[in-house]
Structure 1
Amino acid sequence: MSRIRAAYWDPEGTRFGIPTYWWRGAPPGYATRRQLTAAGLRPGGQPVAAQVLWRGIGGTRAAYLYRVDLARPKRTATPAQRRAIAAALLARRTCPTCRRVRPYYIPRSLGECTDCSPLC
């Protein structure tokens, strides 16, 4: 085992407070938030169960791990929430000056579409 890996090896959690593993060294049954999301799960309020540490740009980096057996299924948006999101996205594409719906989001720096803006 290299010294770098040995520096981050603490499966009992005596040195770091929680079980700590090196990059790609976590045992099965643990997953990061992104891995849970890819599997259609969410942490569901459980505390961080372990962490992965590695040396990266700017110092030591950490990824927190959650137990897969305690994870819950992802919640889906209700039809009302989906309608609200669609309306908000439509409002971002509607020019307040000419009231036309554009195929792009209206730049906040201009406040109107590029056809109506005197800056473009």
Structure 2
Amino acid sequence: MAKRKEVTSIFAIRLAQARERTGLSQEQLGVLAGLDPSVASPRINQYERGKHEPQQKTAKQLADALGVPAAFLYTDDELLAELLLRWNGLTQRQKREIVKQAASKSMSQDDK
């Protein structure tokens, strides 16, 4: 019988990616996100293995603790993920400029 390959959720992949980027341990992340210290490490481990996915409120707390927008944890688009990783480090002016550029590109695409 062939061994079934486990498919990991995009949330699990992105959570581990963001956590490793910050250098936090699973326990540190869990505690920063407001989880009870006694369950912080195992809970984050389960999230990163894709065994469980947190409720939206907890996902937002994890994203805040990691300094990334919550949307980062759910996107399967690599370019969008890259932008979202950098988003919180941008000024409001830079964010508005990116949105403006995207809107103008979108409008010029509509003209074609």
Please give the TM-score of this superposition, normalised by the length of structure 1. 0.24
- Structure ID, larger Rg: 1
Which has a greater percent of helix? 2
User: Relative contact order (alpha carbons < 8 A, sep ≥ 6): 1 or 2 greater?
Assistant: 2
